[in-house]
Amino acid sequence: MSEAEIRELVVIGGGPGGYPAAFYAADLGMDVTLIDTEAKPGGVCLYRGCIPSKTLLHAAAVLQEAKAAEAFGLAFGEAKMDVDRLRAWKQAVVDKLTGGLGQLAQARKIRTVQGRARFEDAATVVVAKASGGEERIRFKAAILATGSEPVRLPGAPDSPRVMDSTGALALEDIPARLLVVGGGYIGLELGQAYAAFGSRVSVVEMLPQLMSGADPELAAPLLARLGGQFEAIRVKTRVLGMEATDTQVTVRLADEAGNECSETYDRVLVSVGRRPNTRGLGLEQTRVQLDDRGFVVTDAQRRTGEPSIFAVGDIAGQPMLAHKATHEGKVAVEAIAGRKAAFAPQAIPAVVFTYPEMAWTGLSEREAREKGFEITVARFPWGASGRAATLGGGDGLTKLIAEKTTGRVLGLGITGPGAGELIAEGTLAIEMGAVAEDLALAIHAHPTLSETVMEAAEGISGHPTHLFRRS
């Protein structure tokens, strides 16, 4: 092992928590070493998550748009899919973005080390290098950003036919029948992509509804659409066991009354959650603590119980989202640089990139009531939006939650095409302490879907032009 050099900052994990932290620290003049199992930064998000999934979902959305266009006289005939080219295109997108990050790291003079790191003590990491051998690095501060991995279903066979999200994104083929186990956003996004590519998709969920964490009103248009796209949606249903052959998987299911049945699929996608990557890191050599769900315990600066070690991203708690990881990474760097910084967002947006999209930010109606706020809720159905009509859809919804006495915006939820882009206005409004009237009085371009946010705000503070309520 080579002699240990003392580095100012070591970042372990090059995902959306780790690489922006490394980049920012280098911009602030720190001497930074970034360690990741891959040669280039990107993490799960770029290699096995956000980016490859959205690439496939874009292809799926094009297919669905093309089908929907028949309603206004455009017929393209039967779509032909070249799975090899689709896979290659997805890979090209991943390569372009991770390659770009590699160049940005180099330009910032960040030392990148490919390998797996573990703590030897509170000031030393040992890296088992991908090229062979070990390297010991001493540090003044470390940021731990090792992310998360898919939870395995107990008893699921070790078979390529039983996939996690990484396996599904590999797009080996388009199975004739696919079972998605788990009705959260990852399962629904990937299930919908495979359905658009031609698979007959079923989904099984233990809880009483799909997307159980989301506002049911916002989820309704998506669930209605999925009802037509998926072969079967089974809620309150458990997977009892699975048996795989070379070509198929037989799954035993039980409903809430205990009625059992067996179904056979060509592939199964298990998406029942993710767990923080804290194993094998040598945390026991430090004072880093885990909570009862396995997340690293941190303070508002993302400092762990070991003052020299910070933790950000999926290992530091919910929501496990890329943009939350990035924000935390920057807070940790500011704290290391001695600046006053704290992770204290008023709103963290969440987007489900299904067709239609769903997005929310700030408090949901239920959360606002649970927190004891007296609230006004305004809904603007997209059936009343001119832009939605020109796009051929009217089943979207914009829902604004405001504090009753002050009109302060507390939350925004949107379902419909482009919801993921539109939600930023709500996050900004909440962070700026805006009242609904601010959104209502800001001129929104016509005809755009952003007008639905303005009209929802008018529903709280005034009179929405395109809705009529008898007083």
Catalytic residues: 446
CA separation, residue 111 to residues 23, 310, 397 (Å): 11, 19, 47
Q: Give whichever of 53 and 237 is closer to ligand FAD, judged by the CB atom.
A: 53
Q: What are phi and psi of 280, to 5 degrees?
A: 75, 15
* Cβ neighbours, 10 Å, residue 347: 20
The nearest distance, CB 242 to ligand FAD, in angstroms, is 21
* Among positions 15, 102, 407, 411, the unique one binding ligand FAD when judged by CB under 6 A: 15
Q: How far is the CB of 311 from ligand FAD (least distance, A)?
A: 9
Both tokens of 338, joined, read 């001695």
Contact 33, 111 (CB under 8 A): yes
**Binding to ligand FAD, residues 150-169 (CB under 6 A):** 165
Q: Nearer to ligand FAD by C-beta: 115 or 305?
A: 115
Spatial CA neighbour of 54 closest among 240, 287, 267, 322 = 322
Instruction: Kindly tell me which residue out of 31, 37, 170, 448 binds ligand FAD, with binding defined by CB under 6 A.
Output: 37
Nearest to 224 by CA among 205, 210, 237: 210
Maximum alpha-carbon separation in the chain: 79
Q: Does 175 bind ligand FAD (CB under 6 A)?
A: no
The tokens describing 134, both together, are 């070990």
Cβ-count burial 393-409 (b if 16+ within 10 Å, e if not): bebbbbbbbbbeeebbb
Q: Quick one: how far is CA 207 from the chain centroid?
A: 20
* Stretch of 14-22, 78-86, 89-97, 400-408 lying at the interface with ligand FAD (CB under 6 A): 14-22
Retrieve residue 418's tokens.
Answer: 């482009």
Element (H or E) spanning 471, and its range? none
Helix, strand, coil abundance in the chain, percent, nearest 5: 35, 25, 40
In whole angstroms, the minimum distance from the beta carbon of 261 to ligand FAD comes to: 29
* Residue choice 22, 32, 45, 378 for contact with ligand FAD (CB under 6 A): 45
Which has the closest alpha carbon to 352: 294, 413, 291? 413
Contact with ligand FAD (CB under 6 A) among 23, 25, 30, 36: 36
Q: Is 14 in the site for ligand FAD (CB under 6 A)?
A: yes
Among 186, 347, 377, 422, binds ligand FAD (CB under 6 A): 186
CA distance 253 to 242: 9
Site string for ligand FAD, 76-115 (x = CB under 6 A): ----------------------------------------
Judged by CB under 6 A, the chain residues 297 through 336 that form the site for ligand FAD are 313-314, 320-323, 325
- Listed in sequence order, the residues at least 6 apart from 335 whose beta carbon sits closer than 8 Å to its beta carbon are 301, 302, 303, 310, 341
User: How many CB atoms are located within 10 Å of the residue 74 CB?
Assistant: 10
Closest chain position to ligand FAD (CB): 147
Compute the least distance from the CB of residue 381 to ligand FAD, in Å.
Answer: 26
Instruction: Provide the minimum distance between the beta carbon of 74 and ligand FAD in the complex, in angstroms, as a whole number.
Output: 29
Identified binder of ligand FAD from the candidate list 124, 146, 286, 452, rule CB under 6 A = 146
Contact stretch for ligand FAD (CB under 6 A) within 43-51, 75-83, 92-100, 217-225: 43-51
Rank residues 13 and 182 by Cβ distance to ligand FAD and give the closer one: 13
Q: How many residues does the chain have?
A: 471
- Which lies closer to ligand FAD via its Cβ, residue 211 or residue 377? 211
Provide, rounded to whole angstroms, the least separation between the CB of residue 120 and ligand FAD: 13
| Of 148, 237, 248, 461, the one binding ligand FAD by CB under 6 A | 148
- Min dist CB 149 to ligand FAD, Å, is 8
Asked if 18 touches ligand FAD (CB under 6 A), the answer is yes
Q: Are 337 and 297 in contact (CB under 8 A)?
A: no
Of 44, 239, 358, 400, the one binding ligand FAD by CB under 6 A: 44
Nearer to ligand FAD, 162 or 253 (CB): 162
**DSSP sequence for 404-431:** TTT-BEEEEEEESTTHHHHHHHHHHHHH
Residue closest to 344 by CA, chosen among 321, 329, 359, 327: 327
Interface with ligand FAD (CB under 6 A): 12-18, 35-38, 43-45, 48-50, 53, 116-117, 145-148, 165, 186, 277, 281, 313-314, 320-323, 325, 353
